[in-house]
């Protein structure tokens, strides 16, 4: 049985967002030049293949990510100081965020075995983590309490990233995901702490996490068949009655999919995704991040695609 397909809405990025995306892509690719000379070409080719970029079209790792995952930095800076991105302090922020987005994806694929590790990939990962730690710390030094905040966020990530246990309800599961995305929610939060009041920075964090949760829910829905087949728990298990959640897996796959069809899971998920996006956009409006709010609203799921 195949469930109806759900997709985020789409909107063409602005020229400013396109230029900012190029800066982050260049930062990601520059990791290769921190490797031994003998590994650099292989590392570049790996990143091109991993990001499904073409040599003709150019490197675009961020094609794997929705705009609000990175444009948040651009719109916070524009709304506050509008410092040039060539500024050495903001360069550290770019390095930290580009590494965080790469590692969020790469570590997952290395951990689940979908990417086979070799010496080049391991060295690339090591370079990414090293640069992430260094740039985050140096950026944080310019913010009151920034270094300890960086350490706290990284610790939250490592405390939860390997935890896939069944929790009491969906809210608890999604709250755990807030910690699992801490390495890449750190940069918007630190930037907001440097420009805004502490309360506003906390609102930025909640706004960004709400976007992240909407993406997580959609991704889990899209991966439903594979997760059942591989018996990997996801947020979708919480749409089953509590007494049925222990049956999650390939043995009961068809029965579970039939139940989800009956309860119109696609409608429940799309409504929940849109609710988190609306909450995130509302907070963006409160922070006078109108352009960012528009990009969040454009992601709303407007209709269900046929199976």
Of 6, 20, 79, residue with least CA distance to 284: 79
DSSP 55: T
Q: In whole angstroms, what is the distance from residue 81 CA to residue 63 CA?
A: 28
> What average pLDDT does the structure give for the chain?
95
Q: In whole angstroms, what is the distance from residue 162 CA to residue 174 CA?
A: 15
First to last CA, the chain: 10
State pTM to two decimals: 0.95
| pLDDT tens, position by position, 73-119 | 999 999 998 899 999 999 999 999 999 999 999 999 999 899 999 99
pLDDT, average across residues 39-63: 94
| pLDDT tens, position by position, 1-40 | 667 899 999 989 999 999 999 999 999 999 999 999 999 9
| pLDDT tens, position by position, 142-164 | 999 999 999 999 999 999 999 98
Q: In whole angstroms, what is the distance from residue 295 CA to residue 24 CA?
A: 18
Instruction: Please give the CATH superfamily to which domain 15-297 belongs.
Output: Farnesyl Diphosphate Synthase (1.10.600.10)
Q: What is the token pair recorded at 171?
A: 């809210």
């Amino acid at each position: 049985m195949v469930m109806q397909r759900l997709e985020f809405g789409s909107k063409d990025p602005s020229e400013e967002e396109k230029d900012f995306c190029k800066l982050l892509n260049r930062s990601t690719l520059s990791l290769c030049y921190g490797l031994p000379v003998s590994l650099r070409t292989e590392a570049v080719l790996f990143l091109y293949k991993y990001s499904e970029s073409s040599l003709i079209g150019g490197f675009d790792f961020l094609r794997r990510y929705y705009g609000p995952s990175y444009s948040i930095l651009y719109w916070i800076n524009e709304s506050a100081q509008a410092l040039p991105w060539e500024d050495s302090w903001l360069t550290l922020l770019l390095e930290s965020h580009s590494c965080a987005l790469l590692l969020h994806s790469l570590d997952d694929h290395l951990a689940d075995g979908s990417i086979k590790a070799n010496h080049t990939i391991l060295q690339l990962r090591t370079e990414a983590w090293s640069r992430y730690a260094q740039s985050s710390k140096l950026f944080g030094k310019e913010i009151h309490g920034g270094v300890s905040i960086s350490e706290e966020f990284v610790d939250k990530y490592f405390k939860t990233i390997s935890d896939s246990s069944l929790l009491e309800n969906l809210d608890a599961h999604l709250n755990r995901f807030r910690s699992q995305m801490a390495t890449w929610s750190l940069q918007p939060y630190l930037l907001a702490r440097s420009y805004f009041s502490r309360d506003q920075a906390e609102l930025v964090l909640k706004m960004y996490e709400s976007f992240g949760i909407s993406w997580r829910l959609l991704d889990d829905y899209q991966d439903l068949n594979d997760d059942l087949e591989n018996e990997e728990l996801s947020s979708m298990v919480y749409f089953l009655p509590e007494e049925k959640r222990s049956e999650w897996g390939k043995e009961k796959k068809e029965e579970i999919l039939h139940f989800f069809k009956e309860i119109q899971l696609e409608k429940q998920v799309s409504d929940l995704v849109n609710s988190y996006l609306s909450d995130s956009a509302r907070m963006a409006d409160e922070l006078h991040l109108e352009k960012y709010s528009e990009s969040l609203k454009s992601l709303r799921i407007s209709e269900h695609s046929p199976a």
